[in-house]
Structure 1
């Protein structure tokens, strides 16, 4: 079969890439190995019938702020966003909680209870964010280097302000919290948000992630699609088909066909060949694309060497429950939040991350949990709750599945922690499902070893260093082949950035007048970074 573009992988980035190309008038075919599209954005009744659970991602602050997704107008294709009464709660061991609301005054009231003056400090920090938010968001989602977007950020912040912002972004979230606030409440909101990624609270750059996610939660909330994460995937798929794009599931790509240094198409495991007249875009992790689908014969030795030190983010274990009643939190206010963090105070969170850093089991794991029926009552029968929790694991457990003793032990510890924070929790369980790292990888091959982010969020693998030291763009060393997954800048999160950037790069390369110049510039950059190319 022939098409202008073949897109590999129907995760959110692959779906976005295919939609952007279809909007440009391209003939697009999207190939997905699984029986249904979505990758990490899928739903099913896995704990009990009638309890709709999200198989991986559940809340979407990046989707809410993404100019890419908003530009696709997915609401016209059936997508409905839902919000819980409160965005986020962090439950402390002593029974207190701090809450992030979409109303900044209510957030300020909550953090004020931990230290006088922190309420006003929160409002000042949020006002600073709002002055910069549009420019920061544009900079995040613009292909690297974001020249125009960075110019807008400079105009908003001024040169001195931009330097101070740059300094803040290099801080650990522990240091950032200490500089901005006096009490534990506001610092816990930042730190818990930072720990959504795989960088500990004392790691360089973790402050940027914690600040960004907390401020996005304050401005946009942590919304979820009505009916489950699958509704977001379904809206993207319906939109693609309405533009004439073709989505083929059960088609596992085994090889990117390369000739004379150019991507010509792909082969699938059923023996079919799919010719790409203009481009191949791959929503897969970087090592799998280069090593498995392309092959070493077509790659510079320097790139192959850099891939040897590519780091995935940490593996995870996820537990889903069907509950006959909502979670009976001892901490007042936690019942209002869609997302709930627990697992200690600030010192406890640092101890948990430090244990993982030395590949040990945390005494008290940090839990990220979701009360989905609180956000969206369609997820379960009236009066019940669809609930989940996950935590990061030592890397030694990346190959373990739900049947292993190690994963069973972690699931037990998670439930013990919940029982302490919500007495009577165990008595409410109707059904339960556990996914270990290997189970997550089986659901979605991009979740290598149970890693959710397509590569670590550590500062050494961001911007022009993502996925390896290079240009920080979706272009690859193979002409007309583009990396469209979370291994590419701007990285993990359901926002469509890597997919849209890859599609725009393919469109720019295919322009009859400027395409040759575009490839000359990109090719020269790659040769400077990686050395001579191979043609196979």
Structure 2
């Protein structure tokens, strides 16, 4: 361990006790570790798997020579994130590249709307559906550009984001702020109807809202669809050259360069809690790693509080609220190695990194209703990625490394038969819009919801967003009412994963927020901050039970853990 001043002004000692233990080497955990190491802390990251990166990882899984992104793939939020950009990852091996176009939505009749980084090109595409819609798109983009930075600052900063919200309010004025508040509650279907006369613009917005689990008629879906579409317009949907894993590799390279370390195949079994505060972790094999200042957990909230802390150590009302935690939708993902590019009949799909297809807006509503009522959709919405189109290094010249994902209903068993039938349905949908697609497949790799969890244990049941992105579980309601940030009912234990505000997506904000909360707790005013936090939490959840329990919490047995994950 290195010796040097931490941000609290106290030198770290040259012993084997790090200042912080970070649980999980996903991108949020690595962001948190980097920021703590930048502040002079000794940091150890404990990763359960043999791999760096969590849900930001690449491998050759379809056939040799074709690189696939195993979970996430396109990164507009990373491109826009002040957290990621401040780390200068280009100095540690990261570079970005773009497809010629950002997103194309292909309708069932093979007409299409295309989002490009050139706003005039996007406007021309949506104007085909109704004269004047191109001008409406340009106006929407101009409005976005006026508030882009304060919106991003407000979104990615810890709550309450007073300064960014004040800047946003000054920019918008009273009337504009009221309209923005309405947008935050508006369904994307209604937003599209208010802004456009044709179906092209609304479908680009609604399709982007479905990158999360936001139904087109759900409150708050408008702001997510608008945000992602406008990020695509301003930043594109870039990908790391050489695979998604290059992003987390660069975070790991940076961490090692400033003295941090990652321990692989080191699953954490429980959080050590002594005197009401987190004091370290116990690994599954029994090894204890103590932490002088903080423990940060880049895992989902149910795993942290039920499995690693234990419900008996938490306030009863907090535990009751946690039982209402809602996961996002289970994901089915398919990767293909194709011997040629995709033979689209819709010309606008050919150069797009991301293609949406399978349904129109009414079909998107039906698809969301099927999932909400636990029916397997017979007309799935597909999000399709053309990775070689975006980054030629992903497969041999003249070929394509591609993938698609869709959702399966929650709360039902995802049998091998169901998965196989849905894979066949996905490929029939592709065949309708790209005749001969199946003949070009030279390799296939299927990740069922169970397979996704097997490959990344934090993606419980194939959910990839750390919990639903719907309005009732965002902001101060994430992961439960009253938190909305990194602090937890346990002193010096911080939630650094996507279950914390602002949620899923590769932007690093949960990790950054947790790191800054840990540094503030260790600072000169840390005691006062903790007193205020404990007082606020006790008013919301009742008395803190953590001080009355033994130092090492019990871990639920397998049956109990499995029950909490369903």
TM-score range (shorter-chain normalised) is over 0.9
Please report how far the alpha carbon of residue 396 of structure 1 lies from its aligned counterpart in structure 2 after TM superposition. Answer: 3.3
Matched, 1:524 2:535: yes
What is the aligned partner in structure 2 of residue 497 from structure 1? Answer: 509
What is the aligned partner in structure 2 of residue 16 from structure 1? Answer: 31
State which of 66, 75, 79 in structure 1 corresponds to 2:94.
Answer: 79
Q: How many residues get paired?
A: 532
Please report how far the alpha carbon of residue 361 of structure 1 lies from its aligned counterpart in structure 2 after TM superposition. Answer: 1.7
Separation (CA, whole Å) in 2 of partners of 1:360 and 1:416: 19
Please report how far the alpha carbon of residue 228 of structure 1 lies from its aligned counterpart in structure 2 after TM superposition. Answer: 0.4
Q: Is the 8 A contact 1:17 1:484 kept in 2?
A: yes
Please report how far the alpha carbon of residue 355 of structure 1 lies from its aligned counterpart in structure 2 after TM superposition. Answer: 1.2
State which of 329, 344, 350 in structure 1 corresponds to 2:359.
Answer: 344
Separation (CA, whole Å) in 1 of partners of 2:444 and 2:425: 15
Please report how far the alpha carbon of residue 364 of structure 1 lies from its aligned counterpart in structure 2 after TM superposition. Answer: 0.6
| Structure 1 residues 407-431: Cα deviation after superposition (integer angstroms, max 9, x where no partner) | 0111010000000010000000000
- What are the residue-to-residue correspondences of 1:47-62 with 2, within 5 Å? 47-62=62-77
| Structure 1 residues 250-269: Cα deviation after superposition (integer angstroms, max 9, x where no partner) | 10000000011100000111
| Structure 1 residues 57-91: Cα deviation after superposition (integer angstroms, max 9, x where no partner) | 00001001000000001011110101000000001
What is the aligned partner in structure 1 of residue 466 from structure 2? Answer: 454
Separation (CA, whole Å) in 2 of partners of 1:168 and 1:17: 31
Please report how far the alpha carbon of residue 24 of structure 1 lies from its aligned counterpart in structure 2 after TM superposition. Answer: 0.6
Q: Is the 8 A contact 1:261 1:298 kept in 2?
A: no
SS of 1:338's equivalent in the other structure is: strand
Separation (CA, whole Å) in 2 of partners of 1:168 and 1:150: 15
Separation (CA, whole Å) in 2 of partners of 1:460 and 1:454: 14
Separation (CA, whole Å) in 2 of partners of 1:285 and 1:378: 33
Matched, 1:415 2:430: no
Please report how far the alpha carbon of residue 406 of structure 1 lies from its aligned counterpart in structure 2 after TM superposition. Answer: 0.6
What is the aligned partner in structure 2 of residue 166 from structure 1? Answer: 181
Please report how far the alpha carbon of residue 380 of structure 1 lies from its aligned counterpart in structure 2 after TM superposition. Answer: 0.2
Separation (CA, whole Å) in 2 of partners of 1:300 and 1:87: 46
SS of 2:350's equivalent in the other structure is: helix
Q: Is the 8 A contact 1:172 1:206 kept in 2?
A: yes
What is the aligned partner in structure 1 of residue 118 from structure 2? Answer: 103
What is the aligned partner in structure 2 of residue 119 from structure 1? Answer: 134
- What are the residue-to-residue correspondences of 1:246-261 with 2, within 5 Å? 246-261=261-276
| Structure 1 residues 94-144: Cα deviation after superposition (integer angstroms, max 9, x where no partner) | 111110000101000100111100000000000000001000000001101
What is the aligned partner in structure 2 of residue 395 from structure 1? Answer: 410
Deviates more, 1:269-278 or 1:66-75: 269-278
Please report how far the alpha carbon of residue 354 of structure 1 lies from its aligned counterpart in structure 2 after TM superposition. Answer: 1.3
| Structure 1 residues 432-459: Cα deviation after superposition (integer angstroms, max 9, x where no partner) | 0101000000111111110000000110
What is the aligned partner in structure 2 of residue 196 from structure 1? Answer: 211
SS of 1:72's equivalent in the other structure is: coil
Separation (CA, whole Å) in 2 of partners of 1:382 and 1:14: 36
- What are the residue-to-residue correspondences of 1:103-502 with 2, within 5 Å? 103-397=118-412, 400=414, 404-502=416-514
| TM-score normalized by the length of structure 1 | 0.98
Please report how far the alpha carbon of residue 363 of structure 1 lies from its aligned counterpart in structure 2 after TM superposition. Answer: 2.0
SS of 2:521's equivalent in the other structure is: helix
Give the superposed CA RMSD.
Answer: 0.8
| TM-score normalized by the length of structure 2 | 0.93
Please report how far the alpha carbon of residue 297 of structure 1 lies from its aligned counterpart in structure 2 after TM superposition. Answer: 2.4
Gaps of 5+ in 1: none
Please report how far the alpha carbon of residue 356 of structure 1 lies from its aligned counterpart in structure 2 after TM superposition. Answer: 1.1
Separation (CA, whole Å) in 2 of partners of 1:389 and 1:296: 38
Separation (CA, whole Å) in 2 of partners of 1:473 and 1:235: 26
SS of 1:143's equivalent in the other structure is: coil
Please report how far the alpha carbon of residue 471 of structure 1 lies from its aligned counterpart in structure 2 after TM superposition. Answer: 3.2
SS of 1:493's equivalent in the other structure is: coil
User: Structure 1 runs of 4+ off > 6 angstroms?
Assistant: none
| Structure 1 residues 211-262: Cα deviation after superposition (integer angstroms, max 9, x where no partner) | 0100000000000000101100100000000010011111000000001110
SS of 2:18's equivalent in the other structure is: strand
SS of 1:3's equivalent in the other structure is: coil
Q: Is the 8 A contact 1:471 1:525 kept in 2?
A: no
Q: Is the 8 A contact 1:339 1:369 kept in 2?
A: yes
